[in-house]
C-alpha cells in the first residue's frame, strides 16, 4: 500500500496550495494528536493566501511521531467522526518534524515569529519544555532575531500568563538572566487562548478507515469531532496567521466556561463512567444517572460561578457539550480522559468547589466528580498520573471513605475545609456502595 507523501498527493484530494512553497513561521512543541487536529488545521486554511506560516514541529517525549511523519513529508489526514463529519482532509501545514533538542536553534530563526505549545498540563512546570523554550529565547535575544509570540494551547486557565510566569522565573536563573528577563518583557508576547475540539487517541481502526477511503497508508492520522473552537487574546508581538478564530481582549470568561463546564463534566463522566464499567464517554452518557449528574454539575454547581461573555448562550452551550460527548462515533475512552487527574482536577473542578463553598452553597456534583477520582485511584491501580506511585502508596489500605479522602486530598492542593471534606466522604461512601 502506498504511503502518504508529496508524491502520493497527485492522486489525492488536492491541497489549495503547494506544500513545497510553504515557509516556516511557527515553531510548535508537542506534536500530539490535538495540535495536528486543531492549530495545524486552522493554519492550513491560511496558507493559500500567505505561505509564510508553515509549522516546524518538535516532539520531546519519544521519537514515535517523528518516525510516523518524517517518511510522509509531514503530511497527515484529519479524519472527522460523528454527526456532521466532513470528508478526510490532508493537512500540509506541518513542514518539518524534529526532536526537541533541535527546537532551541529554530526559535532563534528570524523567519520564526510564533512559538506554540501543546505539552499537556504536565508541561507547565519547571522542566524540559520550559528550559528549552528559555534557551531558545536566549539564543534569539543574542541573535537579535526580533520579537516573538509564545502561544500555549493547553487546557489551563490563563495559559499565556501562566507560561510567561514560569518562563520568566527560569530565565532569571540563567547566567545572563537580567538581560534575558528584560528582553522577554519588551519583545515576547504570551497571549492566552481557549482551545476546544475533542481529539481522541488514534486507533488501528482509524488508520484502516483512512486507508480504505483514500487508498494510502497514513501512520500520522488524527481523529476529531467536526466541532472546533479557538478563542485567542489578540496581543501578538510579531504578527500571526489569519486564523478563522475568535480574537478578543479577554479570554478568561471563555476559558472558565470551557474548563468548568466541558472539561469538568468530561472528568466526572470519565471517573464515574469507568467505575461503572463504561469504556467510552459516550457509553457513560447512556446511563441516565450519570447523564443527570453531568447536567447538574454544569447547571447547579459550575454555571453560577461563571461571568459569561456578552450574548453567551449558556443553555445552548451546556446542551451542545452533552450532545458532543454523546456521539458514539468518537470512541473517546474514559481511561484517556481520566489520566493525570492530580493535575486536571484542581483546574477543572476545585475552582467551582471553592466559589460555591465561599457563597454558602453545597457543590455536591463537583464533590461527586472528585470522589469518583478518589475511588478510581484506590481501585484502578496503576492509574496514569505523574504522581501515580505516590497516589498508590497513599491510597493503599484506606478502607474507610474518610481515610481515603484524607489520604488523597493533599494531592489536589490546599484542602477546602470541613464542609468540602464531609461532602467528599459522603460521595466516596455512596460510590463504594454501588
Ligand atoms: N485531545 C483533546 O481532545 C484536546 C482538546 C483540547 C486541548 N487539548 C490539550 O492538548 C494536550 C495534548 O493532547 P493530545 O491529544 O495532543 O495528547 P497526545 O498524547 O497526543 O500528545 C501529548 C503531547 O504532549 C507532550 N508531553 C507530554 N508530557 C509532557 C511534558 N511533561 N512536558 C512536555 N511535553 C509533554 C507529548 O510529547 C506529546 O507531544 C492536552 O493535554 C490538552 O491540554 C487536547
Ligand atoms: O486533553 P486533556 O488530557 O487535558 O483532557 C481530556 C479531555 O477532557 C479534553 O481533551 C477534551 O476532549 C478537550 O478539552 C475538548 O476540547
What is the mean pLDDT of the segment spanning 183-195?
98
Q: State whether residue 366 is helix, strand or coil.
A: helix
Predicted structure pTM score: 0.97
Place of cell 456521539: 327
Confidence of residue 434 (pLDDT cuts 50, 70, 90): very low
Greatest alpha-carbon pair distance for the chain in Å reads 65
Nearest CA to ligand 1 atom 43: 154
Confidence of residue 225 (pLDDT cuts 50, 70, 90): very high
Q: Which of 28, 30, 330, 333 most suits a substitution to test ligand 1, by most atoms within 8 Å of the C-beta?
A: 30
- Is position 107 within any domain? yes
Helix residue ranges per DSSP H, 221-363: 252-257, 264-275, 281-285, 288-296, 314-326, 334-338, 341-345, 351-358
Q: Specify which residues 77 forms β-bridges with.
A: 90
User: How many Å apart are CA 396 and CA 373, to the nearest integer?
Assistant: 15
What is the mean pLDDT of the segment spanning 45-68?
95
Question: What's the residue count for the chain?
Answer: 434
Q: Is 119 in the pocket of ligand 1 (CB under 6 A)?
A: yes
pLDDT in tens, 289-312: 999 999 999 999 999 999 999 999
User: How many Å apart are CA 93 and CA 77, to the nearest integer?
Assistant: 11
How far is Cα of residue 82 from the mean position of the Cα atoms in its chain? 20
Q: State whether residue 411 is helix, strand or coil.
A: helix
Confidence of residue 278 (pLDDT cuts 50, 70, 90): very high
Q: Is 263 in the pocket of ligand 2 (CB under 6 A)?
A: yes
Could you tell me which residue, 264 or 1, shows the higher pLDDT?
264
ipTM score: 0.99
pLDDT at 100 over 90: no
What is the model's pLDDT at position 116? Answer: 98
Nearest CA to ligand 2 atom 5: 337
ω into 262 cis (within 30 of 0): no
What is the mean pLDDT of the segment spanning 70-99?
97
Note whether 304 and 256 are same-domain residues.
Answer: yes
CB 176 within 8 A of CB 137: no
Note whether 243 and 259 are same-domain residues.
Answer: no
pLDDT in tens, 16-41: 999 999 999 999 999 999 999 999 99
Q: Among 248, 267, 290, where does a domain finish?
A: 248
Note whether 222 and 266 are same-domain residues.
Answer: no
Note whether 139 and 193 are same-domain residues.
Answer: yes
pLDDT in tens, 137-186: 999 999 999 999 999 999 999 999 999 999 999 999 999 999 999 999 99
Q: Among 188, 214, 248, where does a domain finish?
A: 248
Q: What is the number of other CB atoms lying within 10 angstroms of the CB of residue 29?
A: 25
Note whether 348 and 311 are same-domain residues.
Answer: yes
What is the mean pLDDT of the segment spanning 249-276?
98
Among all bound ligands, the one having the nearest atom to the CA of 123 is 1
- Is position 2 within any domain? no
Q: Is 31 in the pocket of ligand 1 (CB under 6 A)?
A: yes
Nearest CA to ligand 1 atom 20: 32
Q: Is beta strand 229-233 parallel, antiparallel or unpaired with respect to 193-196?
A: antiparallel
Place of cell 506534536: 31
User: How many Å apart are CA 239 and CA 120, to the nearest integer?
Assistant: 25
Among all bound ligands, the one having the nearest atom to the CA of 333 is 2
How far is Cα of residue 169 from the mean position of the Cα atoms in its chain? 23
What is the model's pLDDT at position 13? Answer: 76
Note whether 235 and 272 are same-domain residues.
Answer: no
Q: Among 227, 248, 269, where does a domain finish?
A: 248
Note whether 273 and 390 are same-domain residues.
Answer: yes
pLDDT in tens, 344-354: 999 999 999 99
CB 115 within 8 A of CB 133: yes
CB 6 within 8 A of CB 20: yes
CB 77 within 8 A of CB 91: yes
Nearest CA to ligand 1 atom 32: 123
pLDDT at 101 over 90: no
- Is position 1 within any domain? no
What is the model's pLDDT at position 12? Answer: 81
Q: Specify which residues 149 forms β-bridges with.
A: 114, 189
Nearest CA to ligand 2 atom 12: 198
Long-range contacts of residues 384-389, Cβ cutoff 8 Å, at least 24 apart = 384/335, 384/338, 384/339, 384/340, 385/339, 385/340, 385/341, 385/342, 385/343, 386/122, 386/340, 386/342, 386/343, 387/342, 387/411
Q: What is the H or E stretch that residue 55 is in?
A: strand 54-59
Q: What CATH number should be reported for the domain holding residue 263?
A: 1.10.1040.10
| CA-closest candidate to residue 99, choices 63, 69, 135 | 63
Q: Is 59 in the pocket of ligand 2 (CB under 6 A)?
A: no
Q: Is 337 in the pocket of ligand 2 (CB under 6 A)?
A: yes
Note whether 367 and 322 are same-domain residues.
Answer: yes
pLDDT at 226 over 70: yes
Rounded to 5 degrees, what are φ and ψ at 35? -55, -40
- State which residues form the domain around 84: 7-248
Q: N- to C-terminal Cα distance for the chain?
A: 50
Note whether 241 and 329 are same-domain residues.
Answer: no
Note whether 55 and 198 are same-domain residues.
Answer: yes
Confidence of residue 433 (pLDDT cuts 50, 70, 90): very low
pLDDT in tens, 309-339: 999 999 999 999 999 999 999 999 999 999 9
Amino acid at each position: 500500500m502506498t504511503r502518504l507523501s508529496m508524491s502520493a498527493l497527485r492522486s489525492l484530494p488536492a491541497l489549495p496550495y503547494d506544500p513545497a512553497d510553504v515557509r516556516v513561521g511557527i515553531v510548535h512543541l508537542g506534536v500530539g494528536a490535538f495540535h495536528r487536529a486543531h492549530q495545524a488545521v486552522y493554519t492550513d486554511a491560511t496558507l493559500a493566501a500567505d505561505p509564510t506560516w508553515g509549522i516546524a514541529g518538535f516532539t520531546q517525549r519519544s521519537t514515535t511521531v517523528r518516525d510516523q511523519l518524517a517518511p510522509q513529508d509531514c503530511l497527515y489526514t484529519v479524519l472527522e467522526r460523528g454527526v456532521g463529519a466532513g470528508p478526510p482532509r490532508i493537512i500540509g501545514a506541518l513542514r518539518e518534524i524534529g526532536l526537541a533538542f533541535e527546537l532551541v536553534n529554530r526559535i532563534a530563526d528570524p523567519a520564526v515569529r510564533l512559538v506554540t505549545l501543546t505539552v499537556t498540563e504536565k508541561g507547565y512546570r519547571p522542566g524540559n519544555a520550559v528550559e528549552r523554550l528559555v534557551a531558545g529565547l536566549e539564543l534569539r535575544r543574542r541573535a537579535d532575531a526580533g520579537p516573538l509570540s509564545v502561544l500555549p494551547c493547553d487546557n489551563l486557565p490563563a495559559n499565556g500568563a501562566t507560561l510567561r510566569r514560569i518562563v520568566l522565573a527560569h530565565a532569571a536563573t540563567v547566567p545572563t538572566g537580567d538581560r534575558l528577563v528584560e528582553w522577554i518583557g519588551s519583545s515576547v508576547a504570551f497571549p492566552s487562548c481557549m482551545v476546544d475540539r475533542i481529539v481522541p487517541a488514534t486507533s488501528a481502526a482509524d488508520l484502516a478507515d483512512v486507508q480504505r477511503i483514500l487508498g494510502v497508508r497514513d501512520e500520522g492520522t488524527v481523529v476529531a469531532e467536526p466541532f472546533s473552537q479557538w478563542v485567542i487574546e489578540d496581543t501578538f508581538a510579531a504578527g500571526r496567521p489569519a486564523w478563522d478564530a475568535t480574537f478578543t481582549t479577554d479570554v478568561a470568561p471563555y476559558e472558565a466556561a470551557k474548563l468548568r463546564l466541558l472539561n469538568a463534566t468530561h472528568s466526572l463522566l470519565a471517573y464515574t463512567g469507568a467505575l461503572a464499567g463504561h469504556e467510552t464517554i459516550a457509553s457513560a452518557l447512556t446511563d441516565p444517572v450519570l447523564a443527570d449528574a453531568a447536567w447538574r454539575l454544569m447547571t447547579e454547581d459550575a454555571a453560577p460561578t461563571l461571568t459569561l461573555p456578552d450574548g453567551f448562550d449558556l443553555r445552548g452551550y451546556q446542551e451542545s457539550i452533552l450532545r458532543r460527548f454523546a456521539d458514539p462515533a468518537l470512541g473517546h475512552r474514559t481511561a484517556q480522559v481520566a489520566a493525570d487527574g492530580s493535575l486536571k482536577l484542581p483546574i477543572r473542578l476545585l475552582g467551582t468547589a471553592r466559589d460555591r463553598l465561599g457563597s454558602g452553597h453545597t457543590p455536591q456534583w463537583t464533590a461527586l466528580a472528585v470522589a469518583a477520582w478518589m475511588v478510581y485511584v484506590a481501585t484502578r491501580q496503576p492509574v496514569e498520573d505523574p504522581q501515580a506511585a505516590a497516589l498508590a502508596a497513599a491510597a493503599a489500605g484506606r478502607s474507610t471513605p474518610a481515610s481515603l479522602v484524607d489520604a488523597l486530598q493533599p494531592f489536589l492542593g490546599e484542602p477546602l475545609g470541613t464542609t468540602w471534606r464531609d461532602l467528599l466522604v459522603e460521595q466516596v461512601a455512596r460510590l463504594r456502595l454501588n
